[in-house]
Structure 1
């Protein structure tokens, strides 16, 4: 299938075709003795993901584990649907996210407040997962991939308080979720993801430092794809966070409202991203959908109001 890319080490990237776009959100299948899906994508993407797994030979009873880096709808919105389609799979999530997978009602109502009517086209509705199938992780944990291969999870908040990074013992691949920002393979751009309400600068920088300390061989971004230049990318990720925070802090100090702060930060950062000067307007649109300036600036302002009202 054209939306599956073999990455080596029995790892397959699946384009979940979020909201019909290509290259927005990736799920990853580790086709080990105990097959594991990392990230489900949205609920509207669940059929795409199920078909991709089937084409890789993973039938309804073959998937051992579904693990999500965090419970935001572009990463975990499809968990309930995928759990139904693969009834033998355990569902693994950080303990701070577990109850929201069992009962998504609060998660869905807060998402609807943020996204309004575009929620349905972008994400669809998360369906509940039976509580007895959910495995809640503490700050570290290990997922058995079979044959002595493990996927170790490491608590990495800052983007979200229920976020984990996952490292594969066989490949050294680190699944970074959103904790290292959003990567655009077409242009090599990297930009932070700092939505409300959980963003916290020191915590986010701490998670990036933890990722560096894990010594990964490769970073696998949920948005989007594999990156080999680990050290440079993580350094860039920390630098981007600092730049967005410094600019937003300046807007905050000048008493700007959200719209003016967004316009200022967007203007002062646009030179940093080839996507925004690209001939192809689709690339810029993709970037804004993934790491929109309004959501980033709102998350940083929310944090600033907590730490320096």
Structure 2
């Protein structure tokens, strides 16, 4: 299938075709003794993911595990649908996200506030998953991939309080979710992902340091794809966070409202990203997902908490 790319080590990247776009959100299948899907993509992507798994020989009764790095809808919106399509799979998520998979009503209501009419087109609706099928992770955990191979989970908040990174004992692949930002393979650019309400600079930088300490061989970004330059990209990830926070803080000190703060930060960061200088279609789609408005709003939300007069 043209949306499935073998990455070696029995790992396959699946383009989930989010909202019909290519190259925006990836899921990954680890095809061991106990096949494991990392990230489901959105609800509307579930049939795309099911067909990709079928093409790789993984039928309804074959998928052992589904794990999501966090419960944002571009990563986990398909969990309920995928759980139905693969009835024996265990669903693995951090304990701070588990209840939202069982009862998605609050999550969907807040997503509706953020996305409005775009919600259905971009994400669809997260269907509930039976609590009995969910394994909730603490700060660390392990998923059995069969034959002594494990996927170890490490709590990595900062982008979201229910975020985990996952490292494969066989390949050294680290599934970074959104904790290291958004990688644009066309240009090698990396942009931060700092949406409200959970963004916290020190926590986010701590998670990037944790990722470095795990010594991964390769980073697998949900947005988007594999990266071999582990040290360079994680360093860039931390640098981007600091730049965006500094610029947003300046805008806030200057008394700018959200729209003007966004315009200023967007303008001052534009030169950092080759993709945004060209009229690149993929860049527009990334802007949708981790755009300046959401990033600046998340940083402002955090600044309001930390800069309050004590």
Note whether the superposition's TM-score is higher than 0.5.
yes
Q: Report matched runs for 1:151-162 at 5 Å.
A: 151-162=151-162
CA distance in structure 1 between the aligned counterparts of 2:31 and 2:129, rounded to whole angstroms: 23
Q: Secondary structure at the match of 1:23?
A: coil
Cross-structure match for 1:238: 238
Q: Report matched runs for 1:114-125 at 5 Å.
A: 114-125=114-125
Structure 2 length as normaliser, TM-score?
A: 0.99
Cross-structure match for 1:283: 282
Cross-structure match for 2:22: 22
1:206 equivalent to 2:240? Answer no
Any conservation in 2 of the 1:223–1:290 contact (CA below 8 Å)?
no
1:282-309 Cα distance to aligned partner (Å, 9 max, x none): 1331220231000000000000000013
The aligned length equals 308
Report the Cα offset of residue 277 of structure 1. 1.1
Any conservation in 1 of the 2:276–2:283 contact (CA below 8 Å)?
yes
Cross-structure match for 1:49: 49
1:188 equivalent to 2:188? Answer yes
Cross-structure match for 1:305: 304
Report the Cα offset of residue 262 of structure 1. 0.1
Report the Cα offset of residue 93 of structure 1. 0.1
Any conservation in 1 of the 2:23–2:282 contact (CA below 8 Å)?
no
CA distance in structure 2 between the aligned counterparts of 1:78 and 1:223, rounded to whole angstroms: 16
CA distance in structure 2 between the aligned counterparts of 1:116 and 1:215, rounded to whole angstroms: 40
Structure 1 length as normaliser, TM-score?
A: 0.99
CA distance in structure 2 between the aligned counterparts of 1:299 and 1:7, rounded to whole angstroms: 33
The more displaced of 205-214 and 249-258 is 249-258
CA distance in structure 1 between the aligned counterparts of 2:282 and 2:4, rounded to whole angstroms: 20
| CA RMSD of superposed structures (Å) | 0.6
Structure 1 residues without counterparts, runs of 5 or longer: none
Q: Which runs of 4+ in 1 moved over 4 A?
A: none
Q: Secondary structure at the match of 1:159?
A: coil
Cross-structure match for 1:259: 259
CA distance in structure 2 between the aligned counterparts of 1:67 and 1:22, rounded to whole angstroms: 22
Q: Secondary structure at the match of 1:151?
A: strand
Structure 2 residues without counterparts, runs of 5 or longer: none
